[in-house]
Structure 1
Amino acid sequence: MGEGEEEGKIRCSSTVIIFCCIFLIVGLDVFAGFVAMQAEDAQQEVKQRVWLPECKSPSKKAFVLGLIALGCLLAAHIIAVMIGCSLSNTATVISGPEITEHINMACISLTWIIATAGVGILTMGIWTNRESRSECGFTNKHFLFLGGIVCFLHASISVVFYLTNIVSKKCCLRNVY
């Protein structure tokens, strides 16, 4: 087996791994988004405790679905950052184009910002549905729905992050060989 064939197999297997990671991350984020929206629906189905529109009973179903959405968002973010950063480090070792390094840094920063916002928003939605809640308040603010939208946004930024890694690797490999 020649040297070129081995390099081709390595590139092919790394590309397959990258696309599998993209599908896993997007799948987790999309699942988290849909589950968060179902949690919002479950929260809206709960009857009001008193005549005030801001005072609803907590929904156990919304609480559990919110926790599932939060777990999926966190898992997708951890996978995206760990594998994405390792890919971008290997691309920069080969000394890739400077513009892709800036795009990678912007994407990883946006991924962190969006994940942090998503975790905060989903946590607020979960917090309003806890069983021990006795006060009325921010129950009708659609935090779970907004958290679902942020999950979809996290998926799209993660895909851009991975695609810039793929582009930078191909550019780098062309320059080396």
Structure 2
Amino acid sequence: MARNIGPLVCLSVMVMDVIAGILGIQAEIAQNKVKHLKAWIIECRDPSYQAFKLGLAAAVLLALAHTIGNLLGGCICLGSKQDFTKATTANKKLAFGSLILSWITLALGFSLLIVGTMANSKSRKSCTLAHGRVLSIGGIICFFHGLFTVAYYVSAKATIRDEEKRRNPTNQAGHPPA
């Protein structure tokens, strides 16, 4: 008996991305509490261990949410531009578009969270170029990543279901049509 785990996957991905976003914003707040001196674009700041921990946790949660959403979403298998233009369902096009957007938001959000986290590493006690609001922007991008990943999961599952119905048509009783 097959269970429908779709709502659980969507909920867990959204919860992880929301928590990652909140942690990224909290990391920015913790970073702003340490002493710093800013002159034009050069900034001298003591590292914040709390911001480091929060930023690292946000980056890990973002990566975990992306992995779960993509692995359980399945493969929509669009190999070329011809495959994309010949796609029969809107679900396949939506799945492809949301997959691309989820990867873009992952790359942006993860990069910003890691840059902000590394700026708060204990080994960074020097003056560098100002990293303005990197952690909070990375946290905000986590919210969008959750939306795109859930959209991908739902549309990929619908595409897979539609292709299975097309390959294996059955009526309500489970028998092939007469």
TM-score category, normalised to shorter length:
0.7 to 0.9
Q: Secondary structure at the match of 2:127?
A: coil
Aligned to 2:74: 85
Q: 5+ residue gaps in structure 2?
A: 78-86, 171-178
Q: Contact 1:97/1:171 (CA < 8 Å) preserved in 2?
A: no
Query: What aligned pairs does 1:1-177 form with structure 2 within 5 A after superposition?
Result: 10=2, 13=3, 16-48=4-36, 50=37, 52=39, 54-86=43-75, 88=76, 97-168=88-159, 171=162, 176-177=169-170
Q: 5+ residue gaps in structure 1?
A: 1-8, 90-95
Q: Secondary structure at the match of 1:83?
A: helix
Q: Contact 2:89/2:159 (CA < 8 Å) preserved in 1?
A: no
CA distance in 1, matches of 2:129, 2:58: 20
Aligned to 2:83: none
The aligned amino acid for 1:129 is N
Higher helix share: 1
C-alpha RMSD of matched pairs (Å)? 2.2
Q: Contact 2:21/2:141 (CA < 8 Å) preserved in 1?
A: yes
TM-score where L is the length of structure 2: 0.78
Q: Deviations over 1:24-60 (max 9, x none)?
A: 1111110100011100000011112x46472221100
CA distance in 2, matches of 1:173, 1:130: 50
Q: Contact 2:45/2:125 (CA < 8 Å) preserved in 1?
A: no
